[in-house]
Chain A
Amino acid sequence: MRVALFVPCYVDLIYPEVGVSVVRLLRKLGVEVGYPEGQTCCGQPAFNSGFFDEARAVGRHFLDVFEKERFDYVVCPSGSCTTMVSHYYPFIFKDLPEERERSEGLAGRVREFSDFLVNVMGAGDLGAHLEGKAVFHCGCHQRRELGVLEEPRDLLAHVGGLDLVEWENEELCCGFGGTFAVKMPDVSTAMADEKVKALEESGADTLISCDSSCLMHLEGRLRRTGHDTRVLHLAQVLDDGKAG
């Protein structure tokens, strides 16, 4: 099994430890991991802001980079960036037959990290151990476009020492939404506060997600409001809570 790692730009630049945990876990399962070095960003920031031409240009670069060498799968530790490639490349390239074909060809092979672990590798118990009481936040793209909802929970259920609890309105968006967070800061922050409140009420000391962008937003608000909640990407939890 040969896999190309797609590390989203903000994970590359801000949360490299998430990428490192992903590599360690994939290798543990015997997967051969490659990292196409020309990769940058999937183009989602431009796309979400309505700059489709710019998103297409970045998308073409992405296709070039990930088509260069043949991999069985492209694995990405972000439900949102996976969705950009698997769902929204075909959307923005709808009227461009060549790119549309290329993006549809890639779409089925681009898999979100937990989806890949459970549905491709058949992983369950990865032997991880992490003490704590945690809630899981599913990013919206992962929940609705990808429908990868149970997989992360299945993996977390096998983590020794970890008590995964339910929380109120868990299906609500964290309020990040890319540029939405800076364009509409008041509403975005109020949305984060709903999540913070639910987290407080759950009594959890750890917040886990498959999207570092949601985590960046929620952690940003948690820290500003004086919470010391531990915030981890799923890959870090499965890697025994390592931070790099």
Chain B
Amino acid sequence: METEKPARRRETKDRRAEGLPSGVEGFNDRARRAVADEELHDSIELFTRKSVAGRNAVLDALPEAPELRERAYRIKQETMAHLDRHLQQMADAVEARGGNVFFAADGEDVVRYIGDLARSKGARVITKSKSMATEEIELNRRLEEDYADLGLEIVETDLGEWIAQLAGDTPSHIVGPILHMNRKRITEVLSQTAGEDLPPDVEALGSFARKRLREKFLTADIGITGANFGVAASGTVVTVTNEGNARLVTSVPPVHVVVMGIEKLVPRFEDLSVFVKLLARSGTGQELTVYTNFITGPRQTGELDGAEEFHLVLMDNGRSKLLGTDFEEALYCIRCGACLNVCPVYRQTGGHAYGSTYSGPIGAVITPLLKGHDEAKDLPHASSLCGACWEACPVGIPLHDLLLKLRNQQVEAGLAGKAQEIAFKGFESTMKRPLLYNISSKAGRLAQKPLEKNGSMRPLPGPLSGWTDSREMPPLAEKSFRELWKEGV
């Protein structure tokens, strides 16, 4: 998304070009470019509008939706309270069916497990269905680098993920990985792969993709999927897709590897009915996705399909340290993407501005939690705290409150910066002393005189330029309310 696009009509000054520090580094710069990108804006709007309208329609038609949301929250709360027990149950159930289970502390562990497995199988082609967990640890890149001698060909088979992979791009949305690309761009990418100009129509592009992917499905040695849910009691892994690609990934190759975040568990089979009802409705506005797959271990005697060998990789990668903390609710997420679609910040910037695998409100919450504030210092601030995310979340995660707690965590860790520390000490000191407040407001009125013009403030220096660069700022009134009150209202 670094290509030059026509600027939108909005003109905002580049603070950094003027030698001014950007309030929040990184996100701001990427967001500025995204905001000015008209094509990107159109693509995001098309996708989010459709998703939000679809979601609203199917949820309105489900009278028990609010109750399901409550139940979903409680199930997750209960799951996290005894996660160790549920994980053990899950592992036991999978092993009882002849599957292999591996607990991975981090991405490194996952890469090593799958790389060693590929080596022992003499694998060359690996097919994958959509998995945010493997995106999170950059599994493809790391396998290709760390196991270069195997000459692995790793193919994403979700259409969007595949196009992103071909373009050397990353997903910009949990559910719609390439919503940032328009048809023109997709045609370009696929034409380049085809080695010929493909017509820009859905059917032609789709049939080309189908043909290419079919070859890979049939020759794959290992299939890797993520998991939307894991049922602890039965050891069942659930994947939902609309393209059916996960079925081909899990049933054609002899080996199936599932990479699942440890928070994806639900205790019982009946809990699934709550989440499956909410997931597709919230994510894509469907009552149910086209395919919902239940996989319980490898193919059993007498079964017609399924992989001969089944591996479940349970990945922690920073999750368990959130258990029992103020931030545990972040683990309740079912990755439906609803919070992205309704977020007015995401709708302006798209996912890449966040600079992390997970974008939007949930990304702004879990990225610093999983990776630490150093890598994601800006993200908790990439929100107006409007709460649309919390309202849309099918599990009722108070995302905007978690963002506030993250901001506080930064302050406590001394990451907010001296300027802010001084400013808010001054704020406290003024606001708890009415006399000082009154004196400051009068001083402010005097000080603003030379800065005022035609009932508005001239461009202001420092952080306030962030406002006056693009918006008028009203001056302080000649008399405050308290003065008017004293005079007699």
Contacts and interface: CB of A to CB of B under 8 A. Distances in A.
Are A and B a genuine interacting pair, yes or no? Answer: yes
A217 B181 CA distance: 32
A61 B427 CA distance: 13
A53 B408 CA distance: 9
B23 A45 contact: no
Interface stretch (B84-92, B225-233, B383-391): B383-391
A239 to B, nearest CB: 12
A40 B385 contact: no
A173 B434 contact: no
A200 interface: no
Interface string B393-419: 000000001001011111100001000
Contacts of A48: 385, 404, 407
A91 B401 contact: yes
Contact of A220 (B416, B427, B471): B471
B428 interface: yes
Contact of B348 (A12, A40, A187): A187
A41 interface: yes
Nearest to A185: B466
Interface residues on chain A, size class: 35 or more
Interface stretch (B200-208, B247-255, B476-484): B476-484
B385 A194 contact: no
26 contacts: A14-B476, A14-B477, A15-B477, A16-B479, A16-B480, A16-B484, A17-B477, A19-B484, A37-B482, A48-B407, A50-B410, A51-B427, A52-B408, A53-B428, A54-B425, A91-B401, A140-B386, A140-B387, A140-B388, A144-B390, A145-B387, A183-B381, A190-B10, A194-B344, A220-B472, A220-B473
Contacts of A187: 31, 35, 345, 348-349, 382
Given A13-B441, A140-B386, A186 B28 contact: yes
Interface in A33-76: 35, 37-41, 43, 45-54, 57-58, 60-61
A192 B470 CA distance: 10
Interface in B189-205: none
Contacts of B219: none
Interface stretch (A105-113, A126-134, A174-182, A202-210): A174-182
B31 A184 contact: yes
A190 B464 CA distance: 17
Interface in B429-446: 430-434, 437, 441, 444
A91 B384 CA distance: 18
A162 interface: no
B489 interface: yes
A158 B153 CA distance: 69
B49 to A, nearest CB: 9
A189 B32 CA distance: 11
Identify which of B382, B431, B444, B489 gathers the most chain A CB atoms within 10 Å of its CB: B431
B466 A182 contact: yes
A242 interface: no
Contacts of A175: 344, 384
Contact of B467 (A24, A41, A57, A181): A181
B344 A46 contact: no
Interface residues of B, number: 69
Nearest to A220: B471
B31 A50 contact: no
Interface of A: 7, 9, 11-17, 19-20, 23-24, 35, 37-41, 43, 45-54, 57-58, 60-61, 91, 140-141, 143-145, 171-173, 175-178, 180-194, 216-217, 219-221, 223-224
B384 A40 contact: no
Contacts of B32: 186
B151 interface: no
Query: Chain B at the A interface: mostly helix, strand, loop or mixed?
Result: helix
Contact of A185 (B406, B410, B431, B469): B469
A20 B479 CA distance: 12
Contacts of A38: 434
B387 A45 contact: no
A40 B439 CA distance: 12
A193 B41 CA distance: 13
Contacts of B409: 50
Contacts of B444: 13
B481 A47 contact: no
A19 to B, nearest CB: 4
Contacts of B182: none
B481 A16 contact: yes
Given A186-B35, A190-B10, A19 B344 contact: no
A14 to B, nearest CB: 5
Contacts of A193: 10
A183 B434 contact: no
A177 B404 CA distance: 12
Nearest to A24: B489
A180 B103 CA distance: 40
Contacts of B10: 189-190, 193
Given A16-B481, A220-B472, A173 B428 contact: no
B242 interface: no
A-B residue pairs, 5 tightest by C-beta: A177-B384, A50-B407, A220-B471, A182-B466, A173-B386
Contacts of B461: none
A38 to B, nearest CB: 5
B300 interface: no
B431 A61 contact: yes
A133 B15 CA distance: 38
